[in-house]
Structure 1
Amino acid sequence: MSFFETNSLKDVYESIQEVYLSDQRPWVVGYSGGKDSTCALQLVWNALAKLPEEKRQKPVYVISSDTLVETPIIVRYIDKNLENIQKKSDEQGMPFIVQKVSPRVERSFWVNLIGRGYPAPSNKFRWCTERLKIEPANDFITQRVAEFGEVVVVLGVRSAESATRAQVIAMHKIKGTKLARHSSLLNAFVFAPIEAFTTDDVWNYLLQNKSPWNNDNRELVTMYRNAQAGECPLVVDKTTPSCGNSRFGCWVCTVVQQDKSMEAMVESGEEWLEPLLEYRDLLSSTQDPEKKFIYREFKRRNGQVAFNHANGKLVPGPYKLEFRKELLTKLLEIQKQVQAEAPIGEAPVLIHPAELHEIRRLWRSESGDWADSVPQIVKATLGIELDWEIEDSVLYNTQDFTLLDSICKEYDLPTELMVKLIGVEKASHGLKRRHNIHSQLSKVLNEEWRDLKTILAARNSDQDISEIIETDDEESSFAEEISSGQLDLLNNAGANP
Structure 2
Amino acid sequence: MAETPYSIFNSRTPDDIHREIQEVYLENARPWVIGYSGGKDSTTALQLVWYALAELPEEERKYPVYVISSDTLVETPVIVNYITGTLERLEAVAREQKMPFQTDIVRPKIDDTFWVNLIGRGYPAPGPHFRWCTDRMKIRPANKFVLDRVAEHGEVIMVLGVRRGESATRDQVLSLHNIQNSLLLQHSTLPNAFVYAPIVDFSLNDVWFYLLNVPSPWNNDNKELITLYRNSNAQGECPLVVDETTPSCGNSRFGCWTCTVVTKDKAMEGLIDSGEDWMLPLLEFRDFLAKTQDPKQKPKTREHRRRNGQITILNNKLVHGPYTLKFCQELLKELLNVQKLVRKEGPDPNIELITDAELEEIRKIWRTERQDWEDAVPQIYAEIVGDRDWIVDDTISFDEKDKKILTAICDKKGVPVTLVSKLLDTEQQMDGMSRRAKIQSRIDKIFHEDWRSEEEARNELNKLMNNDSS
Q: TM-score, normalised by structure 2?
A: 0.96
Task: Give 1:276's match in structure 2, choosing from 274, 282, 302.
Answer: 282
Task: Give 1:418's match in structure 2, choosing from 394, 417, 420.
Answer: 420
Using the TM superposition, give the Cα deviation of residue 462 of structure 1 relative to its aligned residue in structure 2, in angstroms: 5.1
Contact 2:111–2:361, Cα closer than 8 Å, also in 1: yes
> Paired residue for 2:454?
452
Root mean square deviation of aligned Cα: 1.2
Using the TM superposition, give the Cα deviation of residue 337 of structure 1 relative to its aligned residue in structure 2, in angstroms: 1.0
Contact 1:76–1:346, Cα closer than 8 Å, also in 2: no
Amino acid at match of 1:342: G
Task: Give 1:253's match in structure 2, choosing from 256, 259, 264.
Answer: 259
> Paired residue for 1:388?
391
Paired residues in the alignment total 459
Task: Give 2:326's match in structure 1, choosing from 322, 329, 340.
Answer: 322
* Rounded Cα–Cα distance in structure 2 between residues aligned with 1:425 and 1:453: 29
Aligned 1:340-419 pairs, distance under 5 A: 340-343=344-347, 345=348, 347-391=350-394, 395-419=397-421
Contact 1:179–1:190, Cα closer than 8 Å, also in 2: yes
Task: Give 1:172's match in structure 2, choosing from 177, 199, 211.
Answer: 177
> Paired residue for 1:184?
189
> Paired residue for 1:224?
229
Aligned 1:192-203 pairs, distance under 5 A: 192-203=197-208
Task: Give 2:435's match in structure 1, choosing from 426, 433, 437.
Answer: 433
SS in 2 for 1:161: coil
Structure 1 pair 394–29 and aligned structure 2 pair: CA distance change class (3 A): closer
> Paired residue for 2:248?
242
* Rounded Cα–Cα distance in structure 2 between residues aligned with 1:346 and 1:367: 33
> Paired residue for 1:286?
292
* Rounded Cα–Cα distance in structure 1 between residues aligned with 2:358 and 2:376: 14
Amino acid at match of 2:446: V
Contact 1:30–1:62, Cα closer than 8 Å, also in 2: yes
* Rounded Cα–Cα distance in structure 2 between residues aligned with 1:439 and 1:410: 28
Q: TM-score, normalised by structure 1?
A: 0.91
* Rounded Cα–Cα distance in structure 2 between residues aligned with 1:453 and 1:325: 23
Gaps of 5+ in 2: 1-5, 466-470
Contact 1:181–1:190, Cα closer than 8 Å, also in 2: yes
> Paired residue for 1:142?
147
Contact 1:375–1:386, Cα closer than 8 Å, also in 2: no
Task: Give 1:263's match in structure 2, choosing from 247, 269, 287.
Answer: 269
> Paired residue for 1:117?
122
Using the TM superposition, give the Cα deviation of residue 289 of structure 1 relative to its aligned residue in structure 2, in angstroms: 1.1
* Rounded Cα–Cα distance in structure 1 between residues aligned with 2:33 and 2:198: 13
Using the TM superposition, give the Cα deviation of residue 390 of structure 1 relative to its aligned residue in structure 2, in angstroms: 2.8
Structure 1 pair 394–287 and aligned structure 2 pair: CA distance change class (3 A): closer
SS in 2 for 1:159: coil
What CA deviation, in whole Å up to 9, does each residue of 1:330-359 have, x standing for no partner?
Answer: 10111111011112x474210000000000
What CA deviation, in whole Å up to 9, does each residue of 1:61-87 have, x standing for no partner?
Answer: 000000000000000000000000100
What CA deviation, in whole Å up to 9, does each residue of 1:196-243 have, x standing for no partner?
Answer: 000110011111011000000000000000001121100000000111
> Paired residue for 2:87?
82
Using the TM superposition, give the Cα deviation of residue 100 of structure 1 relative to its aligned residue in structure 2, in angstroms: 0.3
* Rounded Cα–Cα distance in structure 2 between residues aligned with 1:458 and 1:331: 38
Amino acid at match of 1:269: G
Contact 2:336–2:381, Cα closer than 8 Å, also in 1: yes
> Paired residue for 1:470?
none
Asked whether 1:52 is paired with 2:54, we answer: no
Contact 1:27–1:152, Cα closer than 8 Å, also in 2: yes
* Rounded Cα–Cα distance in structure 2 between residues aligned with 1:35 and 1:389: 47
* Rounded Cα–Cα distance in structure 2 between residues aligned with 1:436 and 1:291: 38
* Rounded Cα–Cα distance in structure 2 between residues aligned with 1:86 and 1:170: 34
